Every structure is written in C-alpha cells, then in structure tokens.
Amino acid sequence: MKGKKVMKIIFIITTLLIVLLLAIYINHRIRLKKEEKLLLPLGQMVKVDGHNMSVYAYGTGDTTLVFMSGAGTCSPILDFKSLYSRLSDKYKIVVIEKFGYGFSDIVSKSRDIDSVLEDTRAALKAAGLNAPYVLCPHSMSGLEALYFAQKYPDEVSGIIGLDMAVPRYYDSMPINISMMKVMGRAANIGVTRLIPGASDSEAIKHGTLSDKEKEIYKAVFYSRTATVTMIKEGEAVKENAKKVDNMGAPQLPMLLFISNGQGGTGFDEETWRKIQIDYISKINGGKYIELDCPHYVHDYEYDRISESIVEFLSSKG
C-alpha cells in the first residue's frame, strides 16, 4: 500500500513537471515567433560552405579592423559596437559572426581551428573585403587570430587583443561540455526566459547600445545560446590551443588589452594577467595595457581602448 502511494506521488510530480516544461516550451516558441521581426540581419549574409554567415562592415579608411568574438557571445555585432563606433571614422570596421552566432546559421560541422579559420577567410572574401587585416579578437578567438597570422602572415598586418585567450590558458582551463549541453537543452526549451537578467549582456549593462539595439540583442540571445556549433567549439578548443602553441608566436605588431580576469575567465587576476604578459614578451615590439575591468573589456573601457588603438596603429605606420 505504501509503495503504491509513493508511485502515485512520483507520477503526479512527473506529470506536473512535464506539463510545466511543455508550458515553458510553448511560451518560448510563441515569443520566438514574435521576436522574428527583431532578427533582420544587421550585416551582409554571405554563403560559406553552403550556409549563411553574417558579416558586418562599415566605416572608412585604408586599414580594416576585423572584430572576432569570444566563445558564447551570442551577438558579436552588437557586443563590439560600443568600441567600433568610436573607430569607424578612421578605419574600415568588420565584425565576423561565426556559425552558431548572431545572424549566422547554426551548423554541426567540425570546429577544429583550420575549419574555423577557413570559414572566416571565405566570409571575408565573399563580402569583398581584402587583406591585409588588423585582427581584433576577444577571448577564445585569440587562438584563431594567432593561427591566422601564423598560417597566412601576408593577410594579417597586426593583432589587437581584447583580453584575448592565448594557448597556455587551455592547459588548465576546465571545459565543461556536459554543462554546455544542459544549457543548450534548457535554452531550446525556453528555461533561460525564467532566469532574471539572463539576457542582460555586458554590452547591454555597460555599453552604449540604444534601447532598440538592446531589444535585438535579447532576441538574438534567446535563439543563440549554447548552440550546437558553440558546443562543438568547446569540444575542439584544447586541441586547437595545442596546434596554435606548436606553431610558435607570430612576429607582427601586437597590442594586448588585459582585464583583471573577472567576468568568467575562471582565473585569478594575477594568473590571468601573467599568462598574457608572458605571451606578449615573445613578440618583438609587442605591447600590452592592463585594465581594471572584467573580461569584456570593450564593453567597459571602450573610450580608453579606442584611443589606444588609434595611437598604436598610427605608430606602426
């Protein structure tokens, strides 16, 4: 008799959970439908390997700055806007939205470093953007930027690291793929809509986005959180870091902006700073600037960073 009561309670709880999740999912699909009007691409859509990739380009100047987002940054175009809007009167601004990010297609293809880099090069070419480029990577895309300079040195004239990752970080950085997959499933169901402030990115909280741009960012967040493509990046990142490390440090003009390590790096301030400083010490004439702000430096110190970029690019001729 007691066993039957327990089974009945379990059945009721399970049924309630299913009904709750179904209600959350239906609400999520309805909201996604309403948000479609906000999801008109902000840049140019180009074909890469049969899929659509978003490339945003504007501004004037002979030097082309290519902004490359970190892992999981759902809306790169809007994430970098506070910074690049201060540079567009002097330089050609480009933001690449990798597959699985922003307005680009979600794909399940390999995310080894060669595949990611060739997608980027193909997108730049399809958008009519010619090398050489000054690469401006944030976080994990630092690996791609370094590899770009290693493999195609004639196409990269400089690197400006926005608290970019270098290979040594991945020696000890934990990559929890299981948690990423749970987050992906939760996002697909719509659970993220129940988490207060989940869609409030650093760009929304600390940047200069308009109210309309904040709406767009949030709409992108609900359709581009922990995508299959992002998860594949996480699965490949340690091997990617080893490959980049084995090719040595590329010798070209390089400026690193280094944060205090807060905001999701998983490292204490001293370790986070030291690893980047050790790396830039290998670059002939490499420079770095330490900032007292979290990891998304371009959403906090956009004025100081933009001024330093102009100075750096002017000095390198």
pLDDT at 124 over 60: yes
Digit-coded pLDDT (tens) for 16-44: 888 888 888 888 898 889 898 999 999 99
Angle, helices 228-246/177-189, rounded to nearest 10 degrees: 150
Can you give the pLDDT at residue 176? 87
Report how far residue 96's alpha carbon sits from residue 15's, in angstroms, rounded to the nearest whole number.
Answer: 44
Digit-coded pLDDT (tens) for 274-290: 999 999 999 998 999 99
Structural tokens at position 97? 């939205």
pLDDT at 1 over 60: no
Report how far residue 66's alpha carbon sits from residue 130's, in angstroms, rounded to the nearest whole number.
Answer: 11
Can you give the pLDDT at residue 128? 95
Can you give the pLDDT at residue 2? 64
- How would you class 270 by CB atoms within 10 Å of its CB: exposed for 0-12, middle for 13-18, buried for 19 or more? exposed
Q: Is 50 left (phi over 0), alpha (psi -120 to 50) or beta?
A: left
What is the dihedral sign for C-alpha 176, 75, 274, 255? positive
Can you give the pLDDT at residue 315? 86
Digit-coded pLDDT (tens) for 91-120: 999 999 999 999 999 999 899 999 999 999
Find how far residue 115's CA is from the centre of its chain: 17
Digit-coded pLDDT (tens) for 211-238: 999 999 999 999 999 999 999 999 999 9
What is the dihedral sign for C-alpha 145, 308, 65, 205? positive
pLDDT (mean) for 52-77: 95
